[in-house]
A and B are shown apart, each in its own frame.
Chain A
Amino acid sequence: MLGEPAHSPGIISGYGFGAGCYNKTIRLPLQGHPLIALSQIHKSYRVDGRDIPALNGIDLTVAAGEIFGIIGHSGAGKSTLIRLINLLERPSAGSIRIDGADITALDGAGLRSLRQQVGMIFQHFNLLGSKTVARNIAFPLEIAGQLGRAEIDARVDELLELVGLAEHKHKYPSQLSGGQKQRVGIARALANRPKVLLCDEATSALDPQTTQSVLQLLAKINRELNLTIVLITHEMDVIRSICDRVAVIDGGKIVEMGPVTQVFLYPQHPTTQRFVSEAEHIDETAQAEAFAHVPGKVVRMTFIGETTYEGFLGNAAREFGIDFSILSGRIERIKDTPCGQMLLAFTGCEAALAAAFAQFRSRGIDIEELR
């Protein structure tokens, strides 16, 4: 922990499974206390006299200061899940704690004060078309009713600066681009200095470039304000760009949860595997056929952290007299962590290969022999 910048969100381990698998070069977790805790959440909707279940026993903990992503296909229940955190939806059963306090029983003034501490942004921005940018951002401050006019104006200017929209202060939402609208949404959600920011498909209506700039803004806010962010999305790219941990939801259940690097590199559940292969444009079965004729031992190597940039393959080739060919692979950064996964075919004598693999493993590289 020493030497870590205090604002670094880090990657929080210890909440998901599989957290122990990681390489020590990954930044240590910021020991954020559990800020949001959902336990045994069930939610069903009554449609035509029948109960349609939407969530089936969700257990989830979000640590203070992390960016927690929830990914699922439409209809998986993710939208319901995020709306539980500010009680836009009420659970049919189970408890939701924020900062240790159970919120499920809140009503009236208590509920309104909770909501002022939980900011939310939306897929379709949901700005007030009749108000200017500045008045949109001022609105939650007016609702809270704690600040005077001058203080509200000062706070609005501060927020406009933060999201980079100072020059658009007096425009109406209809005069802004999608990315700018979402920035107004973010400024508005941050106005009351919330503990948590909920993002409901916040980038799904934006083009890829704008998506990245909005995501980078969210990452910056997380870093600079140490604000906890919970987001839902159906795009793995969003998760990969900014999340520390991810939960994969399918059929109203969390089917996989853990640090993003872990889930990305070692997806366990079929749904997760599908999300990852869609994001990476890889199709393992097609690959297996394509490489059937390649000689040698086919191996999947996974590396996380700074090893990604070390010349371990060349070293091993020279030291052990083996050879390799790269069949497919990707080197990337997941949030701030470099990592890679490659499919290689090694040729050489058994003993040399075994020695090389042992060396890779000793350096924290994961080797999976496929053939």
Chain B
Amino acid sequence: MDLSFLSDIDWPEIGTASIDTLLMLGGSLLFTVLLGLPLGIVLFLTSKGQLLANTALNRALGLVVNVLRSIPFIILLIALMPVTEFITGTRIGLLGMIPPLVIGAAPFLARLVETALREVEHGVIEAAQAMGASTRQILCGVLLPESLGGLLAGITVTAITLVSYTAMAGLVGGGGLGDLSIRYGYYRYQTEIMMVTIVLLLVLVQILQMAGDKLVQHFSRK
């Protein structure tokens, strides 16, 4: 097999792109969790029959989440540019990508969090209520620990979704592996670079999934 094409590849550039992808992923995942987790919790707690049942708030938040989720990420990315510039001062580069990535992924994570919390048996929540637990104590002592496996699975799925979102960021000058494969693989017909980025992304997704599964397994007791 002829592997000579490997020496033609600009490895330092691939290294930089990989690091950019990882930074984008890490940064956006952090903020996605910081935004999506509370949002999911509020969606759950305000839903019908739950501790802070509030139909109006629940419907309003649900609407926002659904609207954001129904816009394809590539369009959200462009549409959010003014907002991105307002928050970060730039529309491009790593920093410019984080707000759209977070706004695109947080509603998705919020729904996954809501679903994970719904899996907690109502009887267990009732038992905590019967002990005189406050809503905060039920959240921290029952809901989050009991749904930890589901939450971690949700975060894993979101991280993988974010990997594909970061690739799209390449279209608007976001950098990273997606950017690389578009510039070289698409515009310059350098298929081998595209292949390398595909392999790297595949490995990244595989690692994320495996790590996520391990964590879920470790924290699920049922």
Residues of A within 8 A of B (CB): 86, 88, 111-116, 118-120, 122, 124, 126-131, 139-140, 142-144, 172-174, 188, 192, 198
Contacts and interface: CB of A to CB of B under 8 A. Distances in A.
Contact of B127 (A111, A114, A126): A126
B50 interface: no
Given A126-B124, A128-B142, A130-B146, A174 B131 contact: no
B145 interface: yes
Given A112-B134, A143-B131, A174-B222, A130 B123 contact: no
B133 interface: yes
Contact of A143 (B123, B126, B141): B141
Given A140-B131, A143-B133, A126 B121 contact: yes
Contact of A120 (B124, B130, B148): B130
Interface residues of B, number: 21
B123 A129 contact: no
A130 B126 contact: no
A114 B132 contact: yes
A174 B148 CA distance: 16
B137 A143 contact: yes
Contacts of B141: 128, 139, 142-143
Nearest to B144: A130
A130 B132 contact: no
Nearest to B130: A120
A139 to B, nearest CB: 6
A88 B131 CA distance: 11
A57 to B, nearest CB: 25
Contacts of A118: 130
Main secondary structure of the interface of B (DSSP, over half): helix
B127 A122 contact: yes
Contacts of A174: 221-222
B190 interface: no
A129 B130 contact: no
Interface string B26-68: 0000000000000000000000000000000000000000000
A193 to B, nearest CB: 13
B159 to A, nearest CB: 23
Contacts of A131: 145
Interface string B194-205: 000000000000
B217 interface: no
Interface string B201-222: 0000000000000000001011
Interface string B108-145: 00000000000001011011111111100100011001
Contacts of A198: 130
Nearest to A113: B132
A129 B146 CA distance: 7
A173 to B, nearest CB: 8
The 5 closest A-B pairs by CB, nearest first: A115-B132, A126-B127, A112-B132, A126-B123, A116-B132
B221 A130 contact: yes
B138 to A, nearest CB: 9
Contacts of A143: 128, 131-134, 137, 141
Given A172-B221, A174-B222, A128 B145 contact: yes
A142 B145 CA distance: 15
Contacts of A139: 128, 131, 141
Given A115-B131, A139-B131, A144-B132, 20 more contacts: A86-B130, A88-B129, A111-B132, A112-B132, A113-B132, A115-B132, A116-B131, A122-B123, A122-B126, A124-B121, A124-B123, A128-B124, A129-B124, A129-B221, A130-B148, A139-B141, A143-B128, A143-B132, A173-B221, A188-B131
A188 B142 CA distance: 15
A113 to B, nearest CB: 7
Contacts of B142: 128
Contacts of A128: 124, 141-142, 145-146
A129 B222 contact: yes
Contacts of B221: 129-130, 172-174
Nearest to B219: A130
A90 to B, nearest CB: 13
Contacts of A173: 221
Given A129-B221, A174-B221, A115 B146 contact: no
A127 B127 CA distance: 8
Contacts of B123: 122, 124, 126
A199 B130 CA distance: 12
A116 B129 CA distance: 10
Contacts of A115: 129-132
Contacts of A188: 131
A131 B222 CA distance: 11
A108 B144 CA distance: 22
Nearest to B133: A143
